[in-house]
Chains A and B, each alone.
Chain A
Amino acid sequence: AQKVTQAQTEISVVEKEDVTLDCVYETRDTTYYLFWYKQPPSGELVFLIRRNSFDEQNEISGRYSWNFQKSTSSFNFTITASQVVDSAVYFCALSERTGNQFYFGTGTSLTVIP
Chain B
Amino acid sequence: DAGVIQSPRHEVTEMGQEVTLRCKPISGHNSLFWYRQTMMRGLELLIYFNNNVPIDDSGMPEDRFSAKMPNASFSTLKIQPSEPRDSAVYFCASSFGRAQETQYFGPGTRLLVL
Contacts and interface: CB of A to CB of B under 8 A. Distances in A.
Interface string B8-22: 000000000000000
Nearest to A105: B42
> For chain B, what secondary structure do more than half of its interface residues adopt (helix, strand, loop), or is it mixed?
strand
> For chain A, what secondary structure do more than half of its interface residues adopt (helix, strand, loop), or is it mixed?
strand
A95 B42 contact: no
Interface string A20-62: 0000000000000101010000011111001000000000000
B33 to A, nearest CB: 8
Contact of B102 (A43, A50, A96): A50
Given A104-B43, A107-B42, A99 B99 contact: yes
A97 B42 contact: no
B56 A100 contact: yes
Interface residues of A, number: 20
A33 B89 contact: no
Interface residues of B, number: 21
Interface string A88-106: 0001000111011110101
B102 A44 contact: no
A99 to B, nearest CB: 7
Q: Which of A37, A97, A101 has the most CB of B within 10 A?
A: A101
A91 B89 CA distance: 16
Nearest to B56: A100
Interface string B62-77: 0000000000000000
A99 B107 CA distance: 26
B105 interface: yes
Interface of B: 33, 42-43, 45, 48, 55-56, 89, 91, 93, 98-100, 102-108, 110
Interface of A: 33, 35, 37, 43-47, 50, 91, 95-97, 99-102, 104, 106-107
16 contacts: A33-B100, A35-B102, A43-B89, A44-B107, A45-B108, A50-B102, A91-B43, A95-B100, A99-B99, A100-B55, A100-B99, A101-B45, A101-B56, A102-B99, A106-B42, A107-B42
